[in-house]
Structure 1
Amino acid sequence: MLTSRRLLSVLMAAQAPSALLFRRALTRPEHAQSECLSRVLRATRDTVQTNRLSGFSRVRTAREFQDAVPMSTPDTVHADIESLKSGVPSVLTREPVARFEPSGGSSGASKYIPVTRGLLDEFHRALAPMLFDLLSSRPALREGPSYWSISPIGRKQGRTAGGIPVGSVEDSAYFPSFLQPVLARVFAVPGTVAHLPDVETCRYVTLWFLVACEELALLSVWNPSFLTLLMDALERHGERLAEDLERGVCRPPVDPHPDPLPEGEGIGTVLSRMRFGPRPERAAVLREVLRSGLQARLLWPRLALLSMWTDAQAAHSVEPACRRFQGIEVQGKGLLATEGVVSLPLFGAPAPVLAVRSHFFEFLDPEHPDARPRLAHELEQGRTYSVLLSTSGGLLRYQLGDLVRVEGFHHATPCLRFLGRADSVCDLVGEKLAATRVSTVLDATLPTVLGRRPPFAMVAPEWNPQAPPAYRLFLETDLPDVHLEEAARAIERALCEGYHYRYARELGQLGPVSALRVTEGARHYEARCIALGQRAGDIKPTDLHRQAGWSAWFSQQGAMRP
């Protein structure tokens, strides 16, 4: 316990200089952003991409940058990324690529984001003040270890054709190397867990270490449903876990995979590198907590904070995630993408604060898409914008596709609430169905028809060779089928208020909405997203998923239930 306190004090002190610089930058966002742009220009000058741009070497100001560099998307940088993957140097940035991070979109398609030393430094310019604010504003967090969710990498880790590593095994990889040993010692769960090849095994082993850690002070996850699924697994495997804690062993309740990982490691090999000593006192506590209703406060009396997404569609998953964590403070996360960090949470700010020292930002006004994008110091409170990002990793004027609303200002820097994806539009036959519209319809319709919004509700397209394509509503509810049918009809009526959707229905190009009952929706949703190429920690809840095939998936998972 004393060791954790000392290490966390060292960690906080190490973040203090960066936190101080960030605090000063909050009062002068225009100046901070000018420095970011200069750093990006230095990192990308004399590269393949900027040599294609006439006059780039003469760019100095934000306006000159906007005039000289076109906006980019995953599609427009795809060829350059492929060149980098094959080992071609100096394509996007002058620095070598340290690794690629796969980033799965809502459709399941994976992008590969190049990570350089300069990009990691920009991440740390946001993570350091965030971590300092956590530890200084909430002293209780310095009293014990923390859990930061780890996504199992499994078979996705490897190398590109050019020999560049793909994926990192721990979130601490975004911090400077000298801090990583300190972080490893204050994490309640060893980073080795990330080498396990499947989510269920990872979850069980994670729970072993979490339950063993009586002094746990912080739980940090991404998707709130990640926490719900973790606690569901604790309830499902609680007695087995108690036996393992008592005996000092760890027996994940899944069959070991016969195929080795790319590095030649199986589950047994990974587990052999971890320590599982007997913890009979924690086994007894777990059994008592399971009998009394599985409240986290009884398992972890010093748990002081939950950190998770709380905005956009993740908001629907917060309340279920918190049912077993009554009385524990929740802090919403900022907007952090694989490509870069947009905002970070600070206690006392009205919303996550723009990471003004990290990257160079521009903001498109969706109501005036042809207007020159605004800069950070030009944003207006209450307005909604789409984020453009330029980084030392080589992405220039890159459209993240994320919508944010300005909730206010911290000193002079805008505070941004994440609203959702600007590009989440499903267009099977011209209906142009946006995720924001589906979210509005579900929020207005489901509580009226079903009495409340179910723990899992999602709309997705379905293709039928014998009939027009249509959308299906997937609901987790115990209500009779008649209520599901009524919900589908109500949602159909609401969607028909949209011109393009109604026109597609009138032409017969699109079938009506139907409903399908699902069980353990969040768990099976996560499993398919992983099968589509996403990491567990990257998976976001969604009201509209653009990928088809969910009916077959949920039906198959239901048939497999014991």
Structure 2
Amino acid sequence: MAAKGISTIGAASRSLSSSLMAAAKEPDVENLRLIEELTSNVDAVQERVLAEILGRNADAEYLDKCGLDASDTDRATFRAKVPVASYDDLKPYVKRIANGDRSPILSTHPIIEFLTSSGTSSRMRWPAARYVPGLHTGKGLYFLFARSETKTPGGLTAQPALTSRTLQEEGLRLHEPNMAAILCEDASQSMYAQMLCGLCQRHDVLRVGAVFAAALVRAIRFLQLNWAQLAADIETGELNPRVTDPSDRECSRGDWTGIVTRVWPKTKCLNVVVTGVMAQYILTLQYYSGGLPIVSGMYASSECFFGLNLRPLCGPSEVSYTIMPNTAYFEFLPVGEAVDASNLVELARVEDGREYEVVVTTYAGLNRYRVGDVLCVTGFHNAAPQFRFVRRQSVLLSIEADKTDEAELQRAVERASSALLRRRGASIVEYTSRACTERVPGHFSPALPHWTLAP
């Protein structure tokens, strides 16, 4: 069977995604009006969404085993009868669907594909033209890498959520370069084709990005290593060592400070995820971009879409997402409390400043499902809570009965970098961690690839 987090996307999630992607061509006022309406009526919208989900999936085997029937669409009955579920709880049902059982197991609507989770929720972009004038008058260069799909024993497609989303958008012409380059199975060839296309159209590019910060850093590093060959291809159409284009001379100088705006001079912002574990790349991206705004605009996972960053030009450390109440039914388990259905808090009743694990009920048949993301309430937009992504619940380091999460590790690395490296004109580009048990007590230390120290 496939990895943890396999799920399907509900109709409402697809609808929201499509409307937001189309928003770049619609008046901003209409999009803002919809957001204001949804965020002003959070509890009523959530009540309607839950009733729609339960009514839609009333004949599903899972809800039937929970004791619900078609008339049980109210919150009280739902909370009393449906337990909190993890992937392990749903795994037997998922296996049956993957093996070809077409009966209404989790959902009464046909399951057409599985989305495999990367284990890292995507905080993606959304149209920011209201904040960056002229942003959509040119092109966006996004480095996307789609993995090959697989087939379940029952013949259903199983692929990462990003791959599915990219394929769906082929007809919308949202991404450059073309799908052949994105879907190339050789990552190096895919990167080369995308970078070559981006360089050829460098004067049309107004925004540069990738889904995760690591991918964008990897793309710039690829340019650093392969600029001469890329330049030769652009100039002659065949392998040629001569470099004449001004942008390529920028690369030959050996100074990579602000290289993004020197190669793509009209770039107004970066669209990339820099929250959670991706925060380690913020300084590197600021170095390469010359301080361009970094936009982390939308929060989503393979389970469903969650919300929007209504201040897309805020600093990376200030990013908070306003949950859109029409995409799924949201509940929250206070961190530190027992995993029990009675402890779950509804979206409209979370407390400012408190940390919660997010639990979703989706149109596609996930009921009270623990996504694994821990969020902290940072305030409210109208009646809708705003959340800062804190960490993945399952990502912990433990060596001496301690519990060190990715956010604490990031803070420790930042402090060490500030104290030891920046005064020497160097910084950490990327790191991982390893357990050191040579001494007692044991401790963790960053393990740095050979190229991680950059001037």
- TM class by shorter chain equals 0.7 to 0.9
CA distance in 1, matches of 2:252, 2:166: 40
Deviation at 1:219, TM superposition (A): 1.9
Is the Cα–Cα contact under 8 Å of residues 55 and 68 in structure 1 kept in the other structure?
Answer: yes
1:412 paired with 2:383, answer yes
Structure 1 segment 171-186 matched on structure 2, within 5 A: 173=165, 180-182=170-172, 184=173, 186=174
Q: Deviations over 1:143-167 (max 9, x none)?
A: 111133312314xx13211111222
Q: Any gaps of 5 or more consecutive residues in structure 1?
A: 1-7, 107-122, 252-279, 461-470, 474-487, 493-504, 506-510, 523-562
Aligned to 1:359: 328
Structure 1 segment 202-281 matched on structure 2, within 5 A: 202-213=190-201, 214-248=203-237
CA distance in 2, matches of 1:76, 1:385: 21
Q: 2:290 aligns with which of 326, 344, 361?
A: 326
Deviation at 1:406, TM superposition (A): 1.2
Structure 1 segment 332-351 matched on structure 2, within 5 A: 332-347=296-311, 351=320
Aligned to 1:93: 107
Deviation at 1:316, TM superposition (A): 2.1
Matched letter for residue 411 of structure 1:
N
CA distance in 1, matches of 2:146, 2:22: 29
Q: Deviations over 1:428-456 (max 9, x none)?
A: 78555544554454445564466687333
CA distance in 2, matches of 1:136, 1:250: 43
1:399 paired with 2:380, answer no
Aligned to 2:39: 26
CA distance in 1, matches of 2:267, 2:359: 37
Matched letter for residue 324 of structure 2:
A
- Change beyond 3 A, Cα 1:77–1:428: farther
Length-normalised TM-score, structure 2: 0.80
Is the Cα–Cα contact under 8 Å of residues 146 and 217 in structure 1 kept in the other structure?
Answer: yes
- Change beyond 3 A, Cα 1:446–1:168: closer
Length-normalised TM-score, structure 1: 0.66
Is the Cα–Cα contact under 8 Å of residues 51 and 73 in structure 2 kept in the other structure?
Answer: yes
- Change beyond 3 A, Cα 1:104–1:230: same
> What SS is found at the alignment partner of 1:321?
helix
Query: How big is the alpha-carbon RMSD for the aligned residues of Structure 1 and Structure 2?
Result: 3.5
Aligned to 2:433: 459
Aligned to 2:154: 162
Matched letter for residue 21 of structure 1:
L
Matched letter for residue 29 of structure 1:
V
Aligned to 1:64: 77
> What SS is found at the alignment partner of 1:167?
strand
Q: Deviations over 1:302-347 (max 9, x none)?
A: 2111122232332221110221211422122443211112222223
Is the Cα–Cα contact under 8 Å of residues 140 and 304 in structure 1 kept in the other structure?
Answer: no
CA distance in 2, matches of 1:152, 1:69: 36
1:388 paired with 2:388, answer no
CA distance in 1, matches of 2:29, 2:166: 17
1:190 paired with 2:185, answer no
Same amino acid, percent of matched pairs: 17
The structure with more strand, counted as a fraction of residues: 2
Matched letter for residue 86 of structure 1:
N
Aligned to 1:482: none
Is the Cα–Cα contact under 8 Å of residues 170 and 194 in structure 1 kept in the other structure?
Answer: no
CA distance in 2, matches of 1:298, 1:436: 33
Q: 2:281 aligns with which of 317, 322, 328?
A: 317
Aligned to 1:104: 118
CA distance in 2, matches of 1:440, 1:394: 38
> What SS is found at the alignment partner of 2:204?
coil
Is the Cα–Cα contact under 8 Å of residues 207 and 268 in structure 2 kept in the other structure?
Answer: yes
Q: Deviations over 1:86-107 (max 9, x none)?
A: 121222111112211221337x
Aligned to 1:141: 135
Deviation at 1:73, TM superposition (A): 0.9
- Change beyond 3 A, Cα 1:168–1:283: farther
Q: Deviations over 1:26-74 (max 9, x none)?
A: 1111112122212221332211211211134343222321211111111
Aligned to 2:249: 288
Q: 1:49 aligns with which of 62, 74, 86?
A: 62
Is the Cα–Cα contact under 8 Å of residues 152 and 199 in structure 1 kept in the other structure?
Answer: no
Deviation at 1:194, TM superposition (A): 2.6
Q: Deviations over 1:507-529 (max 9, x none)?
A: xxxx565775531469xxxxxxx
Out of 404-413 and 347-356, give the one that drifted further: 347-356
The structure with more helix, counted as a fraction of residues: 1
Is the Cα–Cα contact under 8 Å of residues 87 and 161 in structure 1 kept in the other structure?
Answer: yes
After superposing on structure 2, the runs of 4+ consecutive aligned residues of structure 1 that deviate more than 6 Å are 14-18
1:422 paired with 2:384, answer no
- Change beyond 3 A, Cα 1:249–1:46: farther
CA distance in 1, matches of 2:411, 2:286: 23
Matched letter for residue 166 of structure 1:
A
Matched letter for residue 300 of structure 2:
L
Is the Cα–Cα contact under 8 Å of residues 98 and 154 in structure 2 kept in the other structure?
Answer: yes
